[in-house]
Structure formats: C-alpha cells, structure tokens
Amino acid sequence: MKLSVPKETKFKENRVSLTPDVVKDLVKKGFEVIVESGAGLKSFFSDEAYNAAGAQIISDQSKIYSEADVVMKINAPSTEEISKMKKDGILISFMWAATNPDLVDACEKSGISAFSMDAVPRISRAQKMDALSSQANLAGYKAVIMAADTIGKIFPMMTTAAGTIRPTKVVIFGAGVAGLQAIATAKRLGAVVEVSDIRPETKEQVESLGGKFIVVKGDASVKMEGGYVKGVSDEFLKLQQELVAKHVKEADIVITTALIPGKKAPLLVTEEMVKSMRFGSVIVDMAVEQGGNVVGSELNQNVQKHGVTIIGEGNIPSLLPMNASDLYAKNIQTLLLHLTDKGAFKWEMDEEITKGSLITHKGEAVHPSVKKTEKV
C-alpha cells in the first residue's frame, strides 16, 4: 500500500502529516511512503531525514495524489487536489465535513473514500487517534505563552526591596483539553487562575490543577454529545456573560477556548466586557477561526480594542510544528493501523471507529452528518 505526504498549502501552516520516525515505522510494517519534496521543512524535518527513514521524495505534486493509495494530510485538501486522486483512492485528514459540503461533493465525484480525523469518536480505545485532543493540548500551552509574551508584566508574585508585585490574574473560558492545559501552564508560571465552564463536572479537574471554578448553573438548553457541547441557547450565554463579567473586569489575561462542532463559536466576551478591562490587558481568542468567542477579534491578527490587545491566531498548534507534527503523525498512524490488516483496508463498516470517522466510501456519502436525505 502506497501512502503519500503532500506539502500543506493552508496559510501559516507549518505542520506535516507524517514525521521521519513514523515513516520509518510504517516502512518496517510493509507500507511504501512517498513524500512531497519540502513537505517537512517548516516542521524542521529535511528531505534527507525522510529519505533515510525509507521514504521516496517526489517533487511532482500531481504524482503525490495520483500515485497514492492513501493520501495523508493535516488540513482538508482543496477540491482541485481531490480531483487529482485516483478513483478508489483513500484520504485521511481533518475535513470538518458537516461545514464543508464542497469537499464532500468533490470526494463523491472522484469516487474516493475519506476518513476525517476530527470525526474519530471520543472513546477510550481511540484515544491514541484523537488528533483534536493532541493539537488542542499544545494550543492551550502556547496560548498562555503568547499572552505572557504580550502582557507588560510578569505572572508570579514577586517580593522585592522596592515592593511586592502582585501575580497576574488569568480568566479562562472552557475546561476542555485546551483549557485544562492553559490552566496548568498559567499556574506553573505563577498566575492566579479562574475558570468558567458550563459543564459542572469539570469543576474537580479545574480545582485539581489549582484553578478557581466560576460556577455557572447549567440548564436544559445545554446539549452534550460525546463529551462535547453540541448546543446552547442565547439566553444561557447571556446569563453566563453576566456572571463572569466581574471576573473579566478584574483579569489581566482572558483566554477563550469554547467551540461547538459544526457551528459558529459561541460569543462569550462582549464589547462591554472588553471595555471594562484594564488598559494593557490581553485576550487570546482560541476560537477565532470558527467565528470567535470575543467581539472584535480578527482572524490571524493581533488588534487593539479599548486599550486591550486581542490575539486572534487561527492555527496555534502550527506555531509548535515539531511537537504538533510528531503527535499528529502518531495519531494518524494509529488510525491507519487500526483500519488496515496485512496491507489492505478491512472496511468494517459497523465497527465504531470506522463508522464514526468514515465520511465517504467509494464516492458515496455515508456519515450521518453528510448523508443526503432521500427525496419523497
């Protein structure tokens, strides 16, 4: 089976889908790997390293798609890239299929089977395949580092002959994977950390990391599925905003991490809340790529609003490409090995991981999120 690693083309993308160490392991297991020349350079992996690992380096991108049995990417390919794949070819990448109908249509027209890394079910035996968590973990860490680099003060309390410096106060919205890592990182740097999450069950995790949990009582409008928030009413969001407004006003740094799969990110920080913050404060909107949690945040821009710096970096894991690529490569390798046996795909259509992550199969949309309803 021939696997291919194209160079990522998304703006500001520095990651690569397979690292030389993972390529070496896959080659030992009998796979053939072709890598587009320069695919790993932004992650600090040279063509020579891939060659030494047993991969073939190819400069012609069209061959990367047309000659591969399985195309392995991080970001969803363009419809043009899909058209270059051979019929019955297989794609494994992030797809965000529910909000990317053109990509699904292209997969159908090209007759390919596509697995989406963001659709891997959140079950214990799929943890090693969970690319959403591996990348969010790094993003939570980096968000704190970016805020620390931007704010004009240190994080820890410091007593000096000239007086005592009060610790930085950090307020974090969301105690998912990214939020929990942000809490741990901010605490390690010496900050006082407060956390808001609509899921009361996260309180224990927040407190175990040294954060103070801001209690926001949930209601029937909060819908959960597979550990993710799937929906919440505007009325509940307004209540949450009112309850946390005082904490935001007193914060030096605010980090927002709230996402709802397949939907626009919920608005958590209003313009009034931004105005209330001290001059020189910093906000990191980690949901900016999906519409943003913060009024005034701009994708891939750092902007000043009412004396507050709002960081809108859209692809934070890409800022740590060595670690992010290494973790993603292990995630995608684990999924590939789960789906195959003796060099061929098993196509166990009722198996939970296959069923959860397979978006199209041989040109037919099969995932519930993209299945076309039959006309009466």
- Tell me: the pLDDT tens digits for 119-163? 999 999 999 999 999 999 999 999 999 999 999 999 999 999 999
DSSP conformation letters of 263-311: SPPPP-B-HHHHHHSPTT-EEEETTGGGT-SBTT--TT-EEEETTEEEE
Strand stretches in 298-362, DSSP E = 302-305, 308-311, 340-341, 344-345, 358-361
Distance between CA atoms of residues 98 and 242, nearest Å: 32
Nearest C-alpha neighbor of 147 from the set 316, 311, 287, 321: 311
* Range in 74-83, 139-148, 220-229 with the lowest mean pLDDT: 220-229
pLDDT the model gives residue 260: 81
User: Do 2-119+321-364 and 138-319 share a fold?
Assistant: yes
pLDDT, greater one: 107 or 259: 107
CA distances from 76 to 17, 286, 334 (A): 12, 20, 19
pLDDT above 90: residue 203: yes
- Polymer length of the chain: 376
Of the pLDDT bands very low, low, confident and very high (cuts 50, 70, 90), residue 375 is: very low
Q: Which H/E stretch holds residue 28? A: helix 20-28
Gyration radius (Cα) of the chain, Å: 22
pLDDT the model gives residue 218: 59
Average pLDDT of the chain?
Answer: 93
Beta bridge partners of 34: 4, 56
- CATH classification for the domain delimited by 2-119+321-364, as one of 3.40.50.800, 3.90.180.10, 2.60.40.10, 3.40.50.720: 3.40.50.720
**Section 217-239 average pLDDT:** 61
pLDDT the model gives residue 241: 79
Could you give the percent of the chain with pLDDT greater than 90?
A: 84
pLDDT the model gives residue 139: 98
pLDDT above 80: residue 31: yes
Fold category of 138-319 in CATH: Rossmann fold (3.40.50)
pLDDT the model gives residue 51: 98
The answer to whether 276 touches 250, Cβ cutoff 8 Å, is: no
Helix axes 131-150, 321-339, angle to 10 degrees: 170
Residue-range domain boundaries for the chain: 2-119+321-364, 138-319
Threshold 0.75, pTM exceeds: yes
* Residue 232: burial class (beta carbons within 10 Å; 0-12, 13-18, 19+): buried
User: Which positions are catalytic?
Assistant: 122, 127, 130, 133, 228
Q: How far apart are the first and last CA of the chain?
A: 42
- Go through 65-102 and write b for each residue having 16 or more CB atoms within 10 A of its CB, e for each that does not: bebbbbbbbbbbbeeebbebbeeebbbbbbbbbbebee
pLDDT the model gives residue 219: 56
